[in-house]
């Protein structure tokens, strides 16, 4: 490994700070992120506390909404006023930013910290651009979770569904008991999370991998895919009128209160439960969304490092990456966030039962699937997927056949 002198100096300064041996000047990092909900900000506070404990100065730039925050980060980098560090997710879309020359690599820290050994290979590989780490992956979230209110199910006399047919059969009973069956916040990405859970549930993990991993047109045109669209169409009447535009965290609150029975959402919903002093798995039910086989649709939160040139900013990036990958920080962060650590060497002690399901599920590589949000498909394809799903969901006159057709064409045009 070769390092130029300023990088070496920055690394040395940061490492001195992290070992508490030095009194190098404060390293200021502006951190741009979209973690503005109660659970998210409580989780981010653990990283911030660890960073400031090592002498860093944290300038917080929260921007509500992932899409808004990512657009702001990119605009500022292109405009020459980059935030030092910004939240993203590992995946093809972050590699697109690296390809545009917008990022610094963080490979020196990764080599010293032996990230290759600490991370699952899938995550290590996708965190690198041209062989160098360009992201610090802080956790693993699952997008195909089902959260439910125990009392609501009891009141309506329904069991936890094992299939989407079970779910559809339970819905009228919930309605009759005055409970909203399905809590959904109507934003394209939330609709996509629901849709992709159905796609996996009805089609199975091989089908998911063909459709999204290979963008296989034949797989998208199958009867299985028609069944997916039929199932999603049957879900339309099960949400309340206030769904359009509602935030995911407010929507999680409906299940926490019991006005709604179920939410299909990433396990960041657990962060809201923890913030409300409810234990996921005990006070609120959690299970992987009904599916014919077991799989975990991963999204990996990460921070990336803008292409700043000055030594203090680079030092701040180095210190930040070091802190974010510290096993104790990762444990504290994920316990509040609802995720599991990206590092394999963090003990599962003190994690809730849902997190333990996640950890055990991921032990089998056959379960590993990736989100179409930021991870597994290029940005144009990701946008086309969300658009097609959202149009189908919101246009109640659109038939499953038309929905499938739209989906196939939209992806085909974007790829
Ligand atoms: C996702 C992110 C999660 C969660 C969610 C809602 O993009 O991966 O960590 O915070 O947005 O804000």
Q: What is the 3-state secondary structure (H, E, C) of 48-64?
A: HHHHHHCCEEEEEEECC
Strand stretches in 125-259, DSSP E? 128-129, 132-133, 135-137, 139-142, 145-148, 180-182
Query: pLDDT tens digits, the chain, 415 residues: what are they?
Result: 344 445 545 555 555 444 443 444 679 999 999 999 999 999 999 999 999 999 999 999 999 999 999 999 999 999 999 999 999 999 999 999 999 999 999 999 999 999 999 999 999 999 999 999 999 999 999 999 999 999 999 999 999 999 999 999 999 999 999 999 999 999 999 999 999 999 999 999 999 999 999 999 999 999 999 999 999 999 999 999 999 999 999 999 999 999 999 999 999 999 999 999 999 999 999 999 999 999 999 999 999 999 999 999 999 999 999 999 999 999 999 999 999 999 999 999 999 999 999 999 999 999 999 999 999 999 999 999 999 999 999 999 999 999 999 999 999 999 9
Contacts 24+ apart (CB under 8 A), 240-244: 240/180, 240/183, 243/184, 243/185, 243/186, 244/186, 244/394
| Residue 26: per-residue pLDDT | 79
The residue ranges of DSSP E strands in 240-393, in sequence order, are 260-265, 285-288, 296-299, 301-305, 340-341, 368-370
* C-alpha 336 – ligand 1 centre gap (Å): 13
Q: Is any ligand 1 atom within 6 A of the Cβ of residue 189?
A: no
139 lines ligand 1 (CB under 6 A): no
Q: Residue 268 Cα, ligand 1 centroid: separation in angstroms?
A: 7
Question: Would the CB of 267 count as within 6 Å of ligand 1?
Answer: no
Indicate if ligand 1 lies below 6 Å from the C-beta of 66: yes
Domain architecture of the chain: domains with CATH: 5-142+299-361 (3.40.190.10), 145-297+373-414 (3.40.190.10)
Which atom of ligand 1 is nearest to 139's Cα? Answer: 9
What pTM did the predictor assign? 0.94
Mapped onto helix, strand or coil, the DSSP state of residue 381 is: helix
Q: How far apart are CA 412 and CA 211, in angstroms?
A: 11
Task: Quote the pLDDT of residue 25.
Answer: 60
pLDDT at residue 3, as a whole number:
46
Q: For ligand 1, is residue 299 a contact (CB within 6 Å)?
A: yes
Q: In angstroms, rounded to a whole number, what is the distance separating the alpha carbons of residues 145 and 266?
A: 6
Return the residue whose CA atom lies nearest to atom 2 of ligand 1.
Answer: 301
CA 339 to ligand 1: nearest atom: 9
Q: Ligand 1, residues 266, 275, 304, 375: which to mutate, most atoms within 8 A of Cβ?
A: 266
Query: Which atom of ligand 1 lies closest to the CA of 89?
Result: 8
d(CA 315, CA 6): 9
Ligand 1 and 301: CB distance under 6 A:
yes
Q: How far is CA 146 from CA 142, 203, 263, 274, in A?
A: 10, 17, 6, 16
Q: Is the CB of 141 under 6 A from ligand 1?
A: yes
């Amino acid at each position: 490994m070769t390092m130029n002198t300023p990088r070496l100096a920055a690394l040395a300064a940061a490492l001195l700070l992290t070992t508490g041996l030095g009194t190098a000047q404060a390293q200021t990092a502006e951190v741009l992120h979209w973690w503005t909900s109660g659970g998210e900000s409580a989780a981010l506070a653990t990283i911030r506390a660890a960073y400031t404990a090592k002498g860093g100065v944290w300038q917080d730039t929260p921007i509500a909404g992932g899409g808004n925050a990512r657009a702001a980060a990119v605009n500022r980098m292109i405009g020459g006023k980059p935030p030092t560090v910004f939240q993203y997710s590992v995946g093809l879309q972050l590699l697109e930013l690296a390809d545009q020359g917008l990022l610094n690599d963080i490979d020196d820290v990764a080599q010293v910290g032996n990230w290759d050994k600490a991370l699952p290979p899938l995550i290590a590989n996708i965190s690198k651009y041209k062989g160098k780490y360009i992201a610090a992956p802080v956790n693993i979230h699952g997008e195909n979770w089902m959260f439910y209110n125990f009392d609501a199910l009891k009141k309506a006399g329904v069991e936890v569904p094992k299939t989407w047919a079970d779910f559809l059969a339970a819905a009228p009973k919930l309605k009759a008991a005055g409970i909203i069956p399905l809590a959904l916040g109507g934003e394209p990405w939330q609709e996509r999370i629901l849709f992709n859970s159905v796609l996996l549930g009805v089609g199975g993990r091989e089908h998911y991998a063909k459709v999204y991993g290979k963008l296989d047109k034949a797989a998208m045109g199958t009867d299985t895919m028609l069944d997916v669209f039929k199932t999603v169409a049957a879900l339309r009447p099960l949400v309340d009128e206030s769904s359009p535009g509602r935030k995911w965290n407010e929507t999680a609150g409906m299940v926490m209160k019991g006005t709604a029975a179920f939410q299909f959402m990433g396990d960041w919903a657990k962060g809201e439960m923890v913030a409300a002093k409810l234990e996921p798995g005990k006070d609120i039910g959690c299970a992987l969304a009904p599916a014919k086989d077991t799989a975990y649709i991963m999204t990996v939160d990460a921070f990336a490092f803008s292409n700043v040139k000055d030594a203090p900013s680079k030092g701040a990036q180095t210190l930040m990456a070091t802190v974010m990958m510290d096993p104790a920080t990762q444990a504290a962060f994920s316990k509040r966030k609802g995720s599991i650590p990206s590092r394999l060497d963090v003990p599962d002690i003190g994690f809730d039962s849902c997190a333990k399901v996640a950890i055990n599920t991921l032990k089998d590589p056959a379960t590993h699937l990736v989100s179409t949000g930021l991870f597994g498909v290029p940005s144009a394809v990701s946008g086309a997927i969300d658009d097609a799903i959202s149009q189908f969901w919101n246009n109640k006159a659109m038939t499953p056949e038309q929905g499938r057709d739209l989906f196939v064409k939209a992806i085909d045009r974007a790829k």
